[in-house]
Structure 1
Amino acid sequence: MSKAIKASAIGTDSPWTVQTSENYYGLKHWGKGHFKVDADGYLEVYPLSNPISSSEKTPSNLTVKGIRIFDIIEEAKSKGFELPLTIRIQDLLQTKVKELNESFLEVLEEENYPGVYRGVFPIKVNQMREVLEEILAAGDAYNYGLECGSKPELMIALANHKNLKSLIICNGYKDASFIRLALYGNRLGKSVFLVVEQLSEINRIIQMSKQMGVIPKIGLRVKLSTVGEGKWARSSGENAKFGLTSPEIMEAAKSLKRAGLGESLQLIHFHIGSQVPNIQTIKRATVEAARYYCELSKLGFPMQYLDVGGGLGVDYDGSRSNFESSMNYTLREYARDIVYNIKTVCEAASVACPDIISESGRAVVASHSILITEVCDRISKNSIEPKISKGKHEPVIESLISILKNDYQASPIERYHDLIQKKDEVDNLFNLGYLKLEDKGLADAIFWKICREIVLYYREKKIQPDEIETMKTMMADQYVCNFSVFQSLIDHWACDQLFPVVPIHRLNEEPSVDTTLVDITCDSEGRIASFVDTEDVRTTLRLHELNPNQSYFLGVFFVGAYQDIMGDLHNLFGRVNEVHVFLEEDEENGFYIEDRIPGFSVDEVLGFTQYDGKMLIREMKKQIDQATKEDQIKPREGTRILDEYAQLLKSQTYLLD
C-alpha cells in the first residue's frame, strides 16, 4: 500500500494543549500507551503500560509508571555523557518479551491447541550484549531461545544459552566449522537445530555428524510460493536467496533417510521477510508451510516444530494499515491466525499439531531504544528580508515587486504561477550576464518572501493544490541536528524506513516552524525529510522556534532494531553515548541509570581505518617542530597546538558544547 506524500498541517483553531501535541506527533497511535506528554509539556515513557490483550486495556497487574525523558538526559549529562545519546529503556524490553510470549500462550489456551510455543530471538536484530541478556532474563520463564545466522552469532548463543528447555535455531550459510560448533551445542545438552538453507548443506551435516558421533537436530527451510509484502518482500517467494524448493525438500529428506538420519528431521521453517504489513500474507504463508509440515510427517519423519520465522511488524506510523511502515493487525491477531491456521491444516490432514516457533525480533526490540539529538543550528530561507530601495529597478524585479504588493488582486495560486515564471526569468538573465549579483539577491529575497506569504495562507487549509505542497517542503527550515543519519538511522537512508520524531520538551507550546532535519555529516543524503503520519507521509515536521538560551532536544523513536549494528562510519562519526535505564520507584525521578557506555572516541574511529593515534601525534609534532624552527609559531603556541590535538583524539566524534 502506498501513501500520499504531503507536507505537515495541523489544521485546528483550538487552543494548543499537550493533547494537541500528542495528536500531532502521533503519540497515541504509534506510542501504544508507552509515550505521553505530562502537564508541563515533557515527554514521558511508560515502560509497563502497553496492553497485551486485544481489548486495548492496561492489564491490572502492571504498574503505570512514567519517566521524563528530559530527566534522563539531564542525569546523563551530569555524568559527562553529552548528546547524541542512545537511551535504552530496559523495562520496556522486558515488557515486549512478555507480551509476545503471553499473547501466544493465551491464544494456545483459547484454541485448545495441543502444542506449545517456543519463541526465539534473532540475534542479528540487535547483538548488543546488554540487550540480549535482558531478553534472555525476561524470556527465561517462557523458555525463550535464540536464533543465529553466522558463526559469531552462534558463539554468542551457545555461551549465553542456559535454559536447556529453550531452543537455538541456526539459519544462514554453514561451513564445516559452523556445523561442528552447533553439534558441540547438542553434545552439551542444548537443543540446537541446523536449518538447511541450501541443499549442499545436507551432505556436510551428514558427514560432520558421523565424524563426531553426534545425532543432529535438523530443520528444512522451504521456499514458499507465497510472496511477502513491504520493503523486505524479496526475502520470500520461489526466487528468494534462502530455502529449498519442493524438489529439493524431497531430495534432502531422502538423503537423510539414506544416511540413517531420518529421525533428525523434525522442523520446517519459512521466512517471508521482515516487517510484513499485511496479515493476509502471513495467513497464506502459514497455511502453505503447514502443508509441507503435514506431508513430511506423512512420509514418516518425526516432525515436531513449525518455525514461522520473522515478519511480525512494528506500527512505526500508527496508521494500523498495510503501509510498509505499519501493520494492519495486532500482536494478538498475529498469534491467533498462526495458531488457528496451523491447527486447521493439521487436523484436516490427521497429523499431530507441531510446537510453534517464531523468530520475532523487530517487534521485541524496536521500541526500547530512543536516539536523542540536539538541534545545533538552523538553515532558513526566511532569514533575509528584501530591501527594496526607491527608484527604478530592472523590469523583472519591478514585476516581482508588483506580485509582492499584489497590485492585481490575484488569488494565491495565480500569484504563485506568476512568481514561478518571473523566477525562471531571473535565473536565465543572471546566467546570461544581464543581471547583476545585487539584483539577483534582491529578486531571490522577494521570491522567498512571496512564497512565505502563500505558504502561510494555505498552511491550515484542508484542501491544497499539489504545487503548494511542493512549495511548503521547499520553504521548510532545515534544523541541523548533532548526529549522523548513517551511524544512527541507517535504514532511513538505505530504505526510507520511517521513524517517529518528537521534541521531548516544550510540548505545551505550539510549534510554528515547518522543518526538515539534517545531520552534521558532509553528505546531502544525511537528512530526514519524511515523517510519520496516520494518513500521509509528511515531508515536513512542525517544530518550535529555537531559543538561543535554551537547548532543544529531539527524540527519534523505535531505533532498537538493526540500527545499532548496521550503522556505518561515514565521515568517521562513531557510535554515540548510551545509557541503560530502569524503573525505580524509590528514586526521585522514578528511574536509575544502570550502565553508561561511552561512544567511540576519535582515536578509536581512526583505528578502524588503520591510523594509530600515537603515530599521528608524532607526525604532528614533527611539523610543529619544523614550524617553530622556521619561526612560523612560538614554542609555547606549538606546545598548545600539540596538546589540543592530542586531547581531541580522546574526545568523541560529534560536536561539543
Structure 2
Amino acid sequence: MNTKYIDLISQTFDFPQEEFKVDNNKLSFHDIDLMALVEEYGGPLKFTYLPQISNNINRAKQWFANAIEKNNYKGKYNYCYCTKSSHFKHVLNEALKNDIHIETSSAFDIDIVENLKAEGKITNDTYVISNGFKRAQYVTNIARLINEGHKNCIPIIDNYEEIDLLSEEVKGKFNIGIRIASEEEPKFEFYTSRLGIGYKNIVPFYNKLIKDNKKVKLKMLHFFINTGIRDNAYYWNELQKCLKVYTSLKKICPSLDSLNIGGGFPIKNSLGFDFDYEYMIDEIVNQIKTTCEAEDVAVPNIFTEFGSFTVGESGGAIYEVLYQKQQNDREKWNMINSSFITTLPDTWAINKRFVMLPINRWNDSYERVLLGGLTCDSDDYYNSEQHMNAIYLPKYNRDKPLYIGFFNTGAYQETIGGFGGLQHCLIPSPKHILIDRDEDGNLTTKLFSEQQKSEDLLKILGYAN
C-alpha cells in the first residue's frame, strides 16, 4: 500500500515538475536545496529567487514575438513591469536587465524611477506609464519627470480633471493615454470599475478636451479588467468593446498608436495549474488585428503591465511546524513558527492560495491537518488547497522536525503586510534571503533583512528611541 507523502503527490499530479523535484527525501525549488537554506539561515524565512523574474519576462516576450510573427502583425510589443506588485530595488534591478518598461501607480513611484535613472537602470527611452487617480504630489512628480526630459512618461488619464492639472505643471507638450472604465463581471458588487472613463464617454471626452488642445497628444488607450486575462466569454466580450472604442478613436485621432491591455496573467497556485499562455496571447493579437482590419485602421503597438506574473513565481516562504494540537476527534492543528496574517496576508485578506509543500520527510506517511499561525486571531489559519480542499502533510513527529514551504508568493505580500513595520500581535517579520546565480550558474545567497527584533517594534511604538 502506498502511504508515503511522495506517493500521494505522484499519484495526484504530474510530478516532478519543472521547478519542483524531490531528491533524498527533500524538496528542491529550481535546483535550490531548501533544507540547506534552512540549515544556513534558520526559520521562519522568506526568499526571492531573482532569476525567475527574468525567466518569466522573457517567456512572455517570446510568446508575443511568436504571435506577432504568426499573425504578420505590424505593431510592436512593449513589456511593462507593474511596480506595485513589489517595489524592492532587487526586484527592479533584475527586471530591468531585460529591456522592459515601467508602470507606476502613485507619487512615490516617480521618486523610484528617478533613483533608477540616476543609476543608469532607466533612460529617457524607457516608457513610464503612470496609472492611478492623480492628485497634488503625483501630478507634480509626473510633471517634474516630463519637464526633465522624460518624454516617454505617459500619464494615463483617469478622470476628467487630470488633463488640466497636468497642463498647469508640465512645460510644453506631453503625451497622454486614457483608461477605459471596464464593466465588471455580473458577480461583482458594482457594475463598472472606479478607474478610468466609461466606454461611451471616451470619444466625447476626446472631442471636448483633447482634439483641439495643442499641449497634449493622445497616444494610448488603456484597458484592464479586474479578473485579469482569462479564456472566457466575459474577457473576450470586454476586449471587443475596447477594440471598438480604439478603432473609433483612431479614425479621428491619428496620434493614437498604442493599446495597453494591462496585466492579469495568472500564476501557478497549485501543482494542478494549467493555463495556455501562448494560446491566449496569440488569440489576443489575432483579435486586435482582425478588428482593426475590419475597421480599416492601422494596428496599435501593444503594451502589457504584468506585475504578479513578473515577480510572483520568484518568491517563497518556509516555516517550521512547532507543535500539533488535537482539538477534537477530527481536527489536527499544525502550529507554524510564524503567522499567515502577517507574512502571507493574501491568504487572510482575499483567501488566496499558494503552492504548499513540505520541505523534508517526503518518504514519511501522511495525515490531514489544518495549519495555524501564532497570533491569537481566529482567522490566522490556512486550511485548504484549491486542488483537494484539504491539507495533507507528513505525520507530525516531535522528534523529526517538519518544514513546509509556500511558493510563488513574490507579489504583494510585503506591501500588504507592511514590510519593516508593525505586524498583527507584534509577530516579527521573518528574515528575507536573496537567491541568485553567478556568471557560471552557481547559486549565491545573501541575507537581505534580518528578522525583526523587539527593539525595532518598540521604537515604532514610541517605547524606545
- Superposed pair shares fold, TM > 0.5: yes
Task: Give the match for residue 518 of structure 1.
Answer: 372
- % same residue: 22
Q: In the TM superposition, what whole-angstrom CA distance separates every residue of 1:553-601 from its partner, at most 9, and x where no partner exists? A: 10011211111110151111232101011235979xx522034321322
Distance in 1 (alpha carbons) for counterparts of 2:5 and 2:139: 59
SS in 2 for 1:613: coil
**Equivalent in the alignment of 1:498:** 353
Q: Which residue in the other structure is 2:454 paired with?
A: 602
- Is contact 1:206-1:256 (8 Å) kept? no
What SS does the corresponding residue of 2:211 show, helix, strand or coil? helix
Superposed counterparts of 1:176-195, under 5 Å: 176-186=136-146, 187-195=148-156
Contact 2:172 / 2:215 at 8 angstroms: preserved in 1?
no
8 Å contact kept, 1:229–1:277: no
Question: Whole-Å Cα distance in 1 between the matches of residues 304 and 95 of structure 2?
Answer: 15
- The one of 99, 111, 114 aligned to 2:74: 114
Q: Indicate the RMSD between aligned Cα atoms, in angstroms.
A: 2.4
Is the contact between residue 183 and residue 216 of structure 1 (CA under 8 Å) also seen in structure 2?
no
- Residues 553 and 207 of structure 1: is their aligned pair in 2 closer, same or farther, counting only changes over 3 Å? same
Q: Following the alignment from structure 2 to structure 1, what is the Cα–Cα distance between the partners of residues 71 and 281?
A: 11
The AA in structure 2 aligned to 1:558 is N
Alignment partner of 2:435: what SS?
A: strand
Offset, 1:36: 1.8
Query: What is the rounded CA distance, in whole Å, between the counterparts of 2:426 and 2:230 in structure 1?
Result: 35
Any conservation in 2 of the 1:176–1:208 contact (CA below 8 Å)?
A: no
Q: Can you give the 5+ residue segments of structure 1 that lack an aligned partner in the other structure?
A: 1-12, 47-65, 77-81, 321-327, 383-447, 449-474, 615-657
Q: Deviations over 1:165-192 (max 9, x none)?
A: 3311101111243223223323323511
Does the Cα contact within 8 Å between 2:181 and 2:194 map onto a contact in 1?
A: no
Post-superposition offset of 1:261? 3.5
Residue in structure 2 matched with residue 175 of structure 1 by the alignment? 135
Cα pair 1:501 1:556 within 8 Å, conserved: yes
How many residues align? The count is 455
Q: Structure 1 residue 531 and structure 2 residue 382: aligned?
A: no
**C-alpha deviations, 1:294-318, integer Å up to 9, x for none?**
1111113411110001221123134
Q: Among 183, 207, 212, which residue is 1:258 paired with?
A: 212
Instruction: Look up the equivalent residue of 2:384 and give its one-letter code.
Output: S
Q: Distance in 2 between matches of 1:544 and 1:607?
A: 40
Equivalent residue for 1:165?
125
TM-superposition CA deviations, 1:437-496 (whole Å, max 9, x none) = xxxxxxxxxxx4xxxxxxxxxxxxxxxxxxxxxxxxxx1210000111111111111111
User: Pick from 578, 599, 603: which aligns with 2:432?
Assistant: 578
| Residue of structure 2 equivalent to 1:155 | 111
Residue in 1 that maps onto 2:181? 223
Question: CA, structure 1 residues 42+577, in 2 after alignment: closer, same or farther (shift >3 Å)?
Answer: same
Q: By percentage of residues, which structure has more strand?
A: 2
SS in 2 for 1:173: coil
For 2:346 and 2:293, the matched residues in 1 are separated by: 42
Of 589, 612, 619, 2:463 maps to: 612
Letter in 2 for 1:580: L
Range moving further from structure 2, 197-206 or 279-288: 279-288
Contact 2:110 2:145 in 1 (8 A): no
Tell me by how many angstroms 1:134 deviates. 1.0
Residue among 592, 600, 605 paired with 2:444: 592
Matched residue type, 1:44: S
Which stretch has the larger CA shift, 115-124 or 241-250? 241-250
For 2:151 and 2:19, how far apart are their aligned partners in 1?
36
Offset, 1:523: 0.8
More helix by share: 1
Where does residue 33 of structure 1 map in the other structure? 18
Of 15, 21, 27, the residue aligned with 2:9 is 21
Query: In the alignment, is the contact (CA less than 8 A) between 2:143 and 2:166 conserved in 1?
Result: no
Q: Which moved more, 1:595-604 or 1:502-511?
A: 595-604
Q: How far apart are residue 252 of structure 1 and its match?
A: 3.0
Kept after mapping to 2: 8 A contact 1:477/1:515: yes
Q: Relative to 1, partners in 2 of residues 1:221 and 1:252: Cα closer, same or farther, differing over 3 Å?
A: same
Query: Does residue 563 in structure 1 map to residue 417 in structure 2?
Result: no
Distance change (3 Å), C-alpha of 1:366 and 1:274: farther
Matched, 1:369 2:334: no
CA distance in 2: counterparts of 1:252 and 1:19, whole angstroms:
61
CA distance in structure 2 between the aligned counterparts of 1:69 and 1:179, rounded to whole angstroms: 45
Q: CA deviation at 1:362?
A: 1.1
Report the TM-score when normalising by structure 2: 0.91
The 1:584/1:492 distance shift into structure 2, 3 A limit, reads same
